[in-house]
Chain A
Amino acid sequence: MIRIAVDAYGGDNAPLSVVQGAVDAVNEIKDLSVTLFGREEELNGLLADKTYDKERLFIVHAPDEITNHDHPTMAIRRKPDSSMVKALDSVKKGECDGMVTSGSTGAFLAGGIFRVGRIRGIDRPALAPVMPTAKGSPVILVDSGANADCKPEYLPQFALMGTAYMKGVMGISDPRVGLLNIGAEEEKGNELCKNAHPLLKETKGIDFVGNVEARDGLAGDVQVIVCDGFSGNVFLKATEGAAMMIMGMLKQNLLSSLKSKIGALLAKDAFKKVKNSMDSEQYGGAVLLGVNGALIKAHGSSKAKGIASAIAQAYTMVQNDVLSSIRRELEAQEIKEDTPNV
């Protein structure tokens, strides 16, 4: 049985959508147990009319809640009875294998790093969302904002973690790794990119294919993009913004005349497919790579489907033992580094 802790509070649609997502996940996956952390009375009330296996869905009372107005590190330190902290602590104590929240990203990062703790050998954990690409295969972006400034040596660790995740969770046998940069040539970029490039080339256990420009990031030629959190966040938000703008313009123009409305009706299935392939709810959430647990941050606006996907994502990560893969890869690097050249 794989045990996932779920923070019932924090997101825009919490706790209603979180409870429904947890019920859907438990009904969908037979060897999954979910523990909801939050105000017991309210959660019991929301579960009252739902059908689910009561042996696999539990509630742990957590009277307090962390909001987006709380200072992340302070909230983690000063709100021990909050749903997020209690859920994180259950992973630390080994009572749960993974955790899902749609609450404050900052508090989630601080809690993951400081309460659950880092995998030994990882300097900085990274927040990594999975995004769709033009070729249909997904790509993971490591880091999308946990570390605004990075040292070059963090990037090979990001590459190893992203590779292990894409193999273990997305079933991609040989993920290709690209370094987000402003040009394809090796000598291009800022100091970080120029210094990280040779380190990535030397890293064993990854398929590093060189630099990738932002416009090619979602082309589908690489399955892991590594970068500092600042650049990753700009890439992520610019992509989201561009997609929203194009969808908005399309909608506006398609509804502008009778002729275009008829055209839109005929092309409805194609539009639906595009919309589904870009639906963040089906990708679950961003994974915090580099900590001792399968920790997933679902989007703040997640509905039940997004929460259920995030729970399934944590489940798959545990089932395929991604954390052990990361540890093995790190150990392999250390052995190689310690081996004298002959």
Chain B
Amino acid sequence: MFEKIAALIAEQLGLDAAEIKPETRLVEDLKADSLDIVAMVMEMESQFGVEIPDDELANLKTVGDAVAYVEKLKK
């Protein structure tokens, strides 16, 4: 799951997936803005068949947070 989400984020932001670690912060380290985060969440919803409520966006601070949340929804 981590590799898939890292690849998705890398594509969204035009980065190398190898630069992305679970502790990488979306805003501070990857310079993602609010539109990037919504776009990533929508791509995750579409790829993994889950629904991520808007209220949850503020809690997704690192790549690891996003992986953990999607994994929780998939269970």
Which residues of A are interface residues toward B (Cβ below 8 A)?
73, 76-78, 80, 113-115, 117-118, 120, 123-124
Contacts and interface: CB of A to CB of B under 8 A. Distances in A.
Given A80-B46, A115-B42, A118-B35, 9 more contacts: A76-B42, A77-B42, A77-B45, A78-B51, A114-B35, A114-B38, A120-B14, A123-B33, A124-B35
Contact of A117 (B33, B39, B45, B46): B39
Nearest to B33: A123
Most buried by A among B14, B33, B39, B45: B39
Contacts of B38: 73, 114
Interface in B7-57: 12, 14, 33, 35, 38-39, 42, 45-46, 51
A285 to B, nearest CB: 23
A113 B42 contact: no
Contacts of B51: 77-78
Contact of A114 (B14, B33, B42): B42
B43 to A, nearest CB: 9
B25 to A, nearest CB: 20
Contacts of A118: 35
A132 B13 CA distance: 38
A216 to B, nearest CB: 33
Give 4 nearest A-B pairs by CB, closest first: A114-B39, A114-B42, A120-B14, A77-B42
A113 B39 CA distance: 8
Nearest to A115: B42
A118 B36 CA distance: 9
A80 B12 CA distance: 19
Contacts of A80: 46
Contacts of A76: 42
A73 B52 CA distance: 13
Contacts of B46: 80
Contacts of A114: 35, 38-39, 42
Nearest to A80: B46
